[in-house]
Amino acid sequence: MNSEKSLPTYKTVADMIDHAILKPNITREELTDEVLKLKPYNIGALCVRSSDVTYVNELAADIDTKVITVVGFPHGTANTAGKVAETKQAIADGAAEIDMVINVGFLLSGMISEVTADIRAVVEAAHPLPVKVILETAFLTAETIAAGSKASADAGAAFVKTSTGFNGGGAAIEDLKVMKAAVAGRSELKASGGIRSLDTLLEMLDLGVTRFGTSATIAILDDLQSRYKTGRSLGTVDETSY
């Protein structure tokens, strides 16, 4: 990072965060507590299990934070009709965006037309709402990351995303560079998996990432606010930057 570069504004960072509440064993009480703790932070989105969309929309009705959900999660192996049905139900329940998992086995098999058709079906079912395609980069090589990213852009995905966070690995700079080159500006980048610090987020922001999936939201935004007060790191805070 350039030590003379100003920090982005709080709103810039907060709006890019999709806070993940996706663990299969989270209870309704734990979910409620987490949403209530996050309310004052005014983040961009809460990414929750599809069964929680209606409830979290009710909890978050008094703030601008969107409620989004996942489809084919976490393995991506559901058939296309199942992903489409899940997408339509999630939107009917109030989801504002869809994060779908790519069929990794098809991708690794070189079945690019099938991968593209699977994504396109979800994109069409979600239209006009945006779809983010989770590649699960921990399973992939640079070549297959590029192929999956291109297929996603070809199918009309709004974003390509690194990881679910449930199958090992996570967001890595080198993988994001491959994704960026492959989509060639046709889709945006979402980094997800292992983003636990402000410094990691800022490094990826510099690369061109525009959305971040994390469960470390409070720590990241508290650190950002602390740096505003102290002027620590990245030079002088400029509230008009970015």
Residue positions annotated with a catalytic role: 99, 161, 190
Q: Three-state secondary structure along the chain?
A: CCCCCCCCCHHHHHHCEEEEECCCCCCHHHHHHHHHHHHHHCCCEEEECHHHHHHHHHHCCCCCCEEEEEECCCCCCCCHHHHHHHHHHHHHCCCCCEEEECCHHHHHCCCHHHHHHHHHHHHHHHCCCCEEEECCHHHCCHHHHHHHHHHHHHCCCCEEECCCCCCCCCCCHHHHHHHHHHHCCCCEEEEECCCCCHHHHHHHHHHCCCEEEECCHHHHHHHHHHHHHHCCCCCCCCCCCC
